[in-house]
A and B are shown apart, each in its own frame.
Chain A
Amino acid sequence: MTDDRDVLRDVWFGRIPTCFVLSQDEITEREAEPYYLLLPRVSYLMLVTDKAKKHFQKVMRQEDVGEMWFEYEGVPLKWHYPIGLLFDLHASNTALPWNIIVHFKNFPETELLHCLTKDAVEAHFMSCIKEADALKHKGQVINEMQKKDHKHLWMGLQNDKFDQFWAINRKLMEYPTEEGGFRYVPFRIYQPLSDRPFIQKLFRPISSEGQPHNLGDLLKEMFPVALTSEDAEKQYQVVIHGIEPMLETPLQWLSEHLSYPDNFLHISILSVPRD
């Protein structure tokens, strides 16, 4: 039922200009130039940083190259979050390009999961999709798919092939017309510097009166502080894919169109920057 190809394309082709800088701690044979890339918002760091890795490895000795990880302003970047989410969460409202520091040693064991191959990303990505489908369709759609369809989803994401990905993903976005939406909307609400990683609960796209829920309804339930009362000054920004959808936007539509490829709506709630 996902339909709005124009929006889907814009979401998919979102890019973040990034400047990779090698960490000062790394020992290099000669000075490492920064490396500039346009990163797809919907992808994962480990999938799109091969070029940067090669670039920096050229100036390093083989024995100094450990597992690569990234840091932004002292925060290790979680590779299992989509790039757009990482940027929105940690770097929105800052000047572009996004300056990411590349590390090859001192892996922050307590904060990051290891990711030795892209298979780890694939496993994580597929498990997210399955979880999302469990919420949307009790997992029926993803389970009825063939292995090769799963592969298409992954390859589509990995190779930035919109059509390949959506040819399969649209099935995950279908729902019975008479029900008006998914069973539950797969969403996660994030806050920078929060103790808990994110908020995730069961929430239906349609109210029990049959009215469609909107983004505001979701926040009212999950994160009421984010809603600004009418007269008060805005405290929080609610950001998905670098934009702030209106609170009146129907949740079902958001889920169909503004979910990341892992089929989750990743919503960042940020404090409004003061000057």
Chain B
Amino acid sequence: MPSSLLWAVDVHGKVYTLSTASQYWELCRDASLEFKRLAAVKQCCWGIASDQQIYIYVHLNEVPIRYQEETFENQRWNPMDGFCDHLLPSDRWQWSDITGLKHQPLKEFKLASQHWEWESNWYVDENIGGEPTDKGGWTYAIDFPATYTKSKRWNSCVRRRRWIRYRRYKSCNTWAKIPSQNTGPLPDPFHDIAVGGWEITDEPLGHLSVWAVTVLGKVFYRENINDQNPEGSSWTEIQTVGEVVQIACGPCDLVCAVLWEGQLIMRKGLNRENPKGNSWQIIEPQNSGNGFVQVSVGVNVLWAVTRDRKMWFRRGVCSENPIGTGWICMNIEMMMVNVGLNDQVWGIGSEDRSIYFRQGVTPTEYSGKAWKVIVANRDQDRSSCASSATSLVSAGYFFGDEVRWPFQPSTSDVDFSLEMEGIAEGTENILETIERDGCPHNKDVASSCPESKCDAVTSVFENISFNDETSEKSPQPIFESTSAQSWLAGGRQALQDDAKLDDAHSGLSPVNLDLAETSSASAAAIYPFGIEEHYVTDEQSLWAWVSGGGCDIEAHTQLSWFNVQSGQTFSIQSFSSYPQQTVWRKQIVQQLIERSKREVDDFKHYEQAVEQSVWIKKGTMQWWRDGKPHKWTDVKVALEQFTGNDGKRDGIFFIYYTYNDEKKYLHLFLNEVTILVPIANEAKHSFAIYTPERTKQRWPIRLATVTEQDMYDWLAVLSLACFDSRGIHGPPSHQAIWSVTCKGDIFVSEPSPSLEATSHPMPSDQLYWRQIGGHLRMIECNNQGIVWGIGYDHTTWVYTGGHGGGFFQGLTGSTDNIYTQSDVMCVYIYENQRWNPLTGYSSRGLPTDRYMWSDASGLQECTKAHTKPPSQWTWVSDWYIDFNAPGGTDRNGWQFAADFPASYHGYKTMKDFVRRRRWARKCKTVTTGPWFEVAPIGLRDLSLIPSMSQSAGDQVALWAISTKGDVLCRMGVTKQNAMGVSWLHIGTDQPFVSVSIGTYYQVWAIAKDGSAFYRGSVSPQNSTGDCWYHIPSPSKQKLIQVSVGRTSVCAVDENGNLWFRQGISPSYPQGSVWKHVSTNVRKVSVGPLDQVWIVADKVQGSHSLSCGTVCHRLGVQPQEPIGSCWDYGIGGGWDYVTVRANSMDSSHSRVQSTPVQEPVKLPPTQNGTAGAKSIKSLVVEQHEPDGRAVKC
């Protein structure tokens, strides 16, 4: 997980950030201002400075914030002047917006604030729906408003063209003042601010809800904040039921405010359409008699502080019931509380002004377990702290890493059960009070003088205001630090004593330490070290405000905030120094090889001292019968492994079953197994075994185990046995072919030189695929061993050189360079409804209809309550309506159709009798694999250059498309540093979806409108090129993916057609025309030998049809780049394959191996016709495809 930041303000108004990966508070880069309030989210932080004005601090991102301004120039034809600016009086403005209703001349566009700058001048957009227009960019129509086409016809009376200009936000990494409003009601000085709401809608991208409270108690909402417009546009006043002192806003639809009188009000009616909500509802107060002074909300939690500094947790808060069900009092006194991401909670202690973190907050226990104080130093303390560490070190002592924590306030680790007891008592009391007095406190609050209440509240807030100089000098901290010093003295004493002990030990030179001695030595080594640094160097920081809205912590996150450690910690981030690549390891491996030559190779005929016996592992499983009837049958299995005479281990896997009371068995030689692959099957823990024969049949052996653990144990054992029999050791080679299944499992295969041979190539069903830990959606590599992957959640990962993880736990794989990897994806179910004349749409369908809650096909019933996440995945959200379902939806998420099953559209017509909507729920998996996260930008596609240079220090070109469609170029990627350094943004006029870079720096990309673009002048010297050349897509097809090899360029469109770009030459790199190659293609990968591999749908095997099959184009030659036919490899169930690392040319080895034979002369192809004839589309049969292999 990438590091994220916790923001805080100290009592002097200085802003600090604490990274989840760090132990030091860092002073905010722009320290010119003093702040009193902060509200942070991941991308930025909002704050109120001492001048009561609102500022925003936007983190500098490698992708700049750009805003596209557009305007249209309209012209009408008249016989005199042709097309000209003279429009009819009834026409639109000569310069207008797209609708024509708003007058928008170029010169009236002004920068929104001083924080923006123009990127370039206005220019004409010469692209209409993927088609390039003529020079000048004019599009023609009969009249306004109408459909415009690129070609001028006899009846084209009007024309228009689109002008665009970008402005760029320039005030990143600094506090930028939000301009005060020049129209509408001018808010008073601000007093409080809250940011949230990013999960309420994704339209527009990066929507944020910012709520602010003024000194006079009014509430304002900031309009139009999104990724392109971080400042928002204007303030809207929100009516309230009283004067507000403070406001809180969660990531979703919780917005809560505190009134002067101490009541809490919850905003109601917030939704996608209306993120502002429409009314307020009062939350019943707790009955201690003290009103609330501060509140914070998350997704499912509400925490608040009362006037007496007591901390309260609201039970049962959720989107459906935002006001919750009851109060729980926490047994700790806090000044303020703040809820961050994942409903994690921070607070500032009312006595010590330390920041506390609530540990153990999980979706099952939102109230958490215990408060823990954050003891990170501030960065200016670092130098002195380091010096004290060295001085101690120079004294020659060892220090234990165990840190004792003598000053932990008694409250810091309060057991939750104790709190709960207190709560139980408390609630009893409350109940009693209620019974006796009716409603006592509310009345009190209402009747008491509002003036004094106000005073009370302001005094509380004054206490934490930014210029609270006195508290620093208050007796409390001084007392603490003196006591610290006295303890410190004691500590030093103890330290010296222990040191003597240690000296004594080292004084005894060579001794055979026995157990007792060793353990006593270890006892001596425990020093309470580190804490003194904290106290000697500086007085404790006193905090005034904390905001965790940008701080991504989960229950399992390891934090180093809670103890001060000595010296430098070992950084696990330094993955680029692989042990595999260090000189000393290479030398050890080399010497071990020499040792084996010296000591073993000449003596192989000697008898082994220890005989290797046959090794058998047995078990019971279920087997999906080969013959009919196909069903799960109980079987016994046995893996028999033995060592051959040559010392090689091999094995046989037996499956014993009974058929018609007859005992039978099936056996598999492990050296014939080509893959072991887990199957996505909700009902069973099952996996498939393929051999070349079974790949041809599209009918693997399918086995199911009782438990998941059992399955992974067997997979690990069988995989190891396969490795043994194939002699596979260590990580994949730099030539490896990588692939990903539709389950997200990663497989890798070692190509042989004969794989791409022109004559008698090795059939691709013979490739052996082994699994590598991790979870990805796509993977790309090049021939230098650089591999990048993208997860389902668009997180980007770089390969670390390891080869274990996943179910290869412990020694069954290597754990070298294996890191934790997580991924998030959505599970979808459909709500189906049919229209009837009485009740309209209802969940009462026809008897023949599908389930009213179903999967996409409608065949399987899927209810919200009973749908489970896939195995190894856990829910991380609740069900929500998916408004992004393909085909579009109406404002309630419905899609309409005439009948089930049919094609759905996002609007209702007269002919529509059924409707459905898609519900999504996020789930998450945490696994391990040789992957290291490349934060923070999420990607959609990427491509690495198949490199010709093998020099390790050379830059490797890597192009990528971000989730938002930005084209990015990775800088600093080398063989040594596969992760690279930074992203460089390449401007485009529309979002892009796919990119690929060929051996000679040919960069091709696909835009969202389905057309292709070629990037001119990209070279090692000019890694970003100069401009885009627009290349229309094949007619009426929208391209979605492109892959560029040495000279070949292939693209796939949204209807599964594979296209080859013809006419490419060095002088004309864009080529001339798209040539159709094949249908039913999902993905294409063109390698550095111009080899073409695809993932295809609907491949017919002898037993069954498969979807998602890896196929290899045969007959690809320089004169025949399209090749002749497909060779079918592993599948179905595959999603992605990349052969861009395989530059192993077969010609070389072939010539060597068969020098005598006359090279086979292939008949010269008749120009054109041969290519066309030999294009064989994949089998298309009207079966329901059966994604047998991985999808069951």
Bound-state Cα–Cα, A155 to B600, Å: 24
Bound-state Cα–Cα, A184 to B560, Å: 23
B residues within 8 A CB of A250? Answer: 584
Contact with A along B776-787 (1 / 0, CB 8 A): 000000000000
**With an 8 A cutoff between CB atoms, is B521 at the interface?**
yes
Query: Does A3 contact B818, Cβ atoms closer than 8 Å?
Result: yes
Query: Does A48 contact B610, Cβ atoms closer than 8 Å?
Result: yes
**With an 8 A cutoff between CB atoms, is A228 at the interface?**
no
A residues within 8 A CB of B506? Answer: 201-202
Contact with A along B541-578 (1 / 0, CB 8 A): 00000000000000000101000011111101000000
**With an 8 A cutoff between CB atoms, is A104 at the interface?**
no
A residues within 8 A CB of B482? Answer: none
Query: Does B567 contact A248, Cβ atoms closer than 8 Å?
Result: no
Contact with A along B180-204 (1 / 0, CB 8 A): 0000000000000000000000000
**Which of A59-67, A116-124, A132-140 lines the interface with chain B?**
A132-140
Bound-state Cα–Cα, A4 to B588, Å: 12
**With an 8 A cutoff between CB atoms, is B102 at the interface?**
no
Q: Given the known A-B contacts A5-B811, A97-B603, A202-B521, are A49 and B588 also in contact in the complex, defined by CB atoms under 8 Å?
A: no
B residues within 8 A CB of A15? Answer: 599-600, 603, 608
Query: Does A4 contact B515, Cβ atoms closer than 8 Å?
Result: no
Bound-state Cα–Cα, A49 to B602, Å: 21
Q: Given the known A-B contacts A180-B570, A210-B568, A249-B584, are A38 and B606 also in contact in the complex, defined by CB atoms under 8 Å?
A: yes
Q: Given the known A-B contacts A48-B610, A253-B579, are A246 and B587 also in contact in the complex, defined by CB atoms under 8 Å?
A: yes
**Which of B589-597, B660-668, B837-845, B1118-1126 lines the interface with chain A?**
B589-597
Bound-state Cα–Cα, A90 to B558, Å: 49
**With an 8 A cutoff between CB atoms, is B421 at the interface?**
no
Query: Does A3 contact B519, Cβ atoms closer than 8 Å?
Result: no
Query: Does A210 contact B512, Cβ atoms closer than 8 Å?
Result: no
Bound-state Cα–Cα, A47 to B608, Å: 13
Query: Does A208 contact B566, Cβ atoms closer than 8 Å?
Result: yes
**Which of A24-32, A144-152, A159-167 lines the interface with chain B?**
A159-167
Q: Given the known A-B contacts A36-B606, A160-B612, A178-B569, are A248 and B511 also in contact in the complex, defined by CB atoms under 8 Å?
A: no
Interchain CB contact (< 8 A) of B505 among A167, A198, A202: A202
Interchain CB contact (< 8 A) of B583 among A96, A134, A248: A248
B residues within 8 A CB of A103? Answer: none
Query: Does B815 contact A3, Cβ atoms closer than 8 Å?
Result: yes
Query: Does A14 contact B595, Cβ atoms closer than 8 Å?
Result: yes
**With an 8 A cutoff between CB atoms, is A196 at the interface?**
yes
**With an 8 A cutoff between CB atoms, is B813 at the interface?**
yes
Query: Does B398 contact A208, Cβ atoms closer than 8 Å?
Result: yes
Bound-state Cα–Cα, A206 to B569, Å: 10
Bound-state Cα–Cα, A11 to B589, Å: 10
A residues within 8 A CB of B802? Answer: 3
Contact with B along A5-36 (1 / 0, CB 8 A): 11111110011110000000000000000001
**With an 8 A cutoff between CB atoms, is A266 at the interface?**
no
A residues within 8 A CB of B588? Answer: 7, 243, 245-246, 249, 258
Bound-state Cα–Cα, A36 to B594, Å: 22
Query: Does B399 contact A138, Cβ atoms closer than 8 Å?
Result: no
Query: Does A4 contact B610, Cβ atoms closer than 8 Å?
Result: no
Q: Given the known A-B contacts A51-B609, A159-B610, A208-B566, are A131 and B513 also in contact in the complex, defined by CB atoms under 8 Å?
A: yes
The listed residue with most B CB atoms (<10 A of its CB), out of A200, A208, A243, is: A208
Which residue in chain B gives the minimum CB-CB distance to A195? B510
A residues within 8 A CB of B429? Answer: none
Query: Does B610 contact A166, Cβ atoms closer than 8 Å?
Result: no
**With an 8 A cutoff between CB atoms, is A76 at the interface?**
no
Bound-state Cα–Cα, A248 to B586, Å: 12
**With an 8 A cutoff between CB atoms, is B411 at the interface?**
no
Interchain CB contact (< 8 A) of B606 among A11, A17, A179: A17
Q: Given the known A-B contacts A38-B609, A160-B612, A178-B560, are A242 and B595 also in contact in the complex, defined by CB atoms under 8 Å?
A: yes
**With an 8 A cutoff between CB atoms, is B607 at the interface?**
yes
Bound-state Cα–Cα, A138 to B730, Å: 33
Bound-state Cα–Cα, A4 to B730, Å: 9
Interchain CB contact (< 8 A) of A6 among B558, B603, B729: B729
Query: Does A134 contact B518, Cβ atoms closer than 8 Å?
Result: yes
Find residues 238-260 in chain A having any chain B CB closer than 8 Å to their own CB: 241-246, 248-250, 253, 258
Bound-state Cα–Cα, A10 to B585, Å: 13
**With an 8 A cutoff between CB atoms, is A37 at the interface?**
yes
Q: Given the known A-B contacts A7-B589, A163-B811, A197-B512, are A178 and B401 also in contact in the complex, defined by CB atoms under 8 Å?
A: yes
Q: Given the known A-B contacts A96-B603, A200-B510, A243-B592, are A40 and B610 also in contact in the complex, defined by CB atoms under 8 Å?
A: yes
**With an 8 A cutoff between CB atoms, is A199 at the interface?**
yes
**With an 8 A cutoff between CB atoms, is A2 at the interface?**
yes
Query: Does A131 contact B518, Cβ atoms closer than 8 Å?
Result: yes
Bound-state Cα–Cα, A96 to B601, Å: 12
**With an 8 A cutoff between CB atoms, is A39 at the interface?**
yes
How many chain A residues sit at the interface, stated as a range, is: 35 or more
Which residue in chain B gives the minimum CB-CB distance to A221? B506
Shortest CB-to-CB span from B20 to chain A, Å, is 14
A residues within 8 A CB of B393? Answer: 208-209
Q: Given the known A-B contacts A5-B814, A38-B607, A160-B610, are A196 and B589 also in contact in the complex, defined by CB atoms under 8 Å?
A: no
Shortest CB-to-CB span from A141 to chain B, Å, is 14
Bound-state Cα–Cα, A204 to B399, Å: 10
B residues within 8 A CB of A163? Answer: 720, 811-812
Bound-state Cα–Cα, A96 to B392, Å: 52
Which residue in chain B gives the minimum CB-CB distance to A11? B592
**With an 8 A cutoff between CB atoms, is A113 at the interface?**
no
Bound-state Cα–Cα, A94 to B297, Å: 76
B residues within 8 A CB of A17? Answer: 599-600, 602-603, 606
Bound-state Cα–Cα, A249 to B557, Å: 31
Query: Does A245 contact B608, Cβ atoms closer than 8 Å?
Result: no
Q: Given the known A-B contacts A37-B606, A177-B572, A210-B568, are A131 and B515 also in contact in the complex, defined by CB atoms under 8 Å?
A: yes
Query: Does B592 contact A40, Cβ atoms closer than 8 Å?
Result: no
Bound-state Cα–Cα, A208 to B817, Å: 25
Shortest CB-to-CB span from B551 to chain A, Å, is 20
Query: Does A96 contact B811, Cβ atoms closer than 8 Å?
Result: no
**With an 8 A cutoff between CB atoms, is A115 at the interface?**
no
B residues within 8 A CB of A198? Answer: 510, 512
Bound-state Cα–Cα, A170 to B812, Å: 11
Find residues 395-438 in chain B having any chain A CB closer than 8 Å to their own CB: 397-399, 401
**With an 8 A cutoff between CB atoms, is B1108 at the interface?**
no
Bound-state Cα–Cα, A199 to B594, Å: 29
B residues within 8 A CB of A158? Answer: 610
Shortest CB-to-CB span from B715 to chain A, Å, is 15
Find residues 186-225 in chain A having any chain B CB closer than 8 Å to their own CB: 196-202, 204, 206, 208-212
Shortest CB-to-CB span from A220 to chain B, Å, is 14
Which residue in chain A gives the minimum CB-CB distance to B731? A6
B residues within 8 A CB of A212? Answer: 570
Which residue in chain A gives the minimum CB-CB distance to B521? A202
Bound-state Cα–Cα, A248 to B585, Å: 10
**With an 8 A cutoff between CB atoms, is B514 at the interface?**
yes
Query: Does A38 contact B811, Cβ atoms closer than 8 Å?
Result: no
Task: List 21 A–B pairs whose Cβ atoms lie within 8 Å, in order of A's numbering.
Answer: A9-B729, A10-B589, A15-B599, A17-B599, A36-B603, A37-B607, A96-B603, A160-B612, A163-B720, A170-B810, A177-B572, A178-B565, A196-B510, A197-B510, A201-B510, A201-B511, A202-B513, A209-B390, A209-B568, A241-B595, A243-B594
Nearest 4 A-B pairs (CB), nearest first? A17-B603, A3-B816, A180-B570, A48-B609
Excluding A167-B810, A208-B398, 13 further A-B contacts by CB distance (< 8 Å) are A4-B816, A8-B811, A17-B603, A36-B603, A40-B610, A131-B515, A138-B522, A158-B610, A179-B401, A208-B566, A246-B584, A246-B587, A253-B579
A interface residues, Cβ below 8 angstroms from B: 1-11, 14-17, 36-40, 43, 47-49, 51, 96-97, 130-131, 134-135, 138-139, 158-160, 163, 166-167, 170, 177-180, 183-184, 196-202, 204, 206, 208-212, 241-246, 248-250, 253, 258
B interface residues, Cβ below 8 angstroms from A: 389-390, 392-393, 397-399, 401, 505-506, 509-515, 518-519, 521-522, 525, 558, 560, 565-570, 572, 579-580, 583-585, 587-589, 591-596, 598-600, 602-603, 606-610, 612-613, 720, 729-730, 802, 804, 810-818
